[in-house]
Amino acid sequence: MTARLLEVDRISRRFGTATALDQVSFAARPGELFGLTGGRGAGKTTALRITLGVQPADSGAVRFDGRPIRRGLFGYLPEEGGLQPRMRVLDQLVHLGRLHGLSTNDAHGSAERWLARLGLGPQRKAQIRKLGAEARHRVRLAAALVSDPVVLVLDEPFTGLDPAAVTATCEVLREKAAAGVPVVLSSRRLDLVERHCDRVGVLRAGRMLAMGTIAELTGGAGRRLTVTAPRARPGWSTAVPGVRVLAEHRETTVLELSRGADDQAVLAAALATGPVTEFSHRLPSLAELFPDEVSAP
């Protein structure tokens, strides 16, 4: 069953001698937000541009609904640019809607709806260059949505946004996903991808390093155990099988437990040193699992 599934199938792309993408595959299903993450130059933008059909791949295929993609079918929020600074907001959106095949009437109706939905009503007649960064971001989002696309592709939609604006953006994306539109976004921010996406692909140097739901990615790693034992000496846990010390800070030790390691043996070892005031399990974050992919915001 491939209905409304966006499939990116082993795409590769070189620029001169540099490999931007090497056999990268992922899929975005209706109802879900799929996040591509990775450090600078990992290949996210190239992957999204090939997904949209605005840049060719050297090899591989992109399919929607089991068929090769057609340009103009998707809504796109580019990392930067894409808007004409001297155009007025409403005119820009109507223009983009018409470029994607809407009638003038439909483009108008859709543009007005998105301006209202994104709180841009008062700025509808303003020139884009006169808008602040946050309002311009909302116009870019409206531009991606105005043609009522069957797939949404967004390159770094969170850049420069405060937490409230990130949440507002994700609410809109969730609504589209709930309506059956696969949503693919890229972000260098592993924390935001972890919080807002259902499934994630981690790119490094053009290769897919890991892919899965957040639970699959974080649950597949060793469990983390935080133990606070005020009288324990460094190295108190080394005799327990399957345990690795990740951090020791004053009285608190963070341990990684391999599969099958016995947390009760850790507790016994800790109690043997004296009182234990904290003993808690938690899953690692994506940023902890992929520290090399974390870049400054």
Closer residue to ligand ATP, CB minimum distance, 85 or 297? 297
CB of 58 to ligand ATP, least distance (A): 12
The smaller minimum CB distance to ligand ATP, of residues 45 and 252, is found at 45
Q: Using the rule CB under 6 A, is 239 a contact of ligand ATP?
A: no
Closest to ligand ATP by CB, 156 or 194: 156
Sole binder of ligand ATP in the list 8, 24, 42, 192 (CB under 6 A): 42
Answer left, alpha or beta for residue 150, where phi above 0 means left and psi between -120 and 50 means alpha. Answer: alpha
Q: Which is nearer to ligand ATP, 36 or 144 (CB)?
A: 36
Structure tokens at 16: 């001169």
Q: How far is the CB of 199 from ligand ATP (least distance, A)?
A: 18
Instruction: Please report whether residue 188 would count as binding ligand ATP according to CB under 6 A.
Output: yes
Of residues 263 through 292, those in contact with ligand ATP by CB under 6 A are none
Q: Tell me if 157 contacts ligand ATP by CB under 6 A.
A: no
Decide: is 54 part of the binding site for ligand ATP (CB under 6 A): no
Q: At what angle do helices 104-117 and 133-145 cross, to 10 degrees?
A: 140
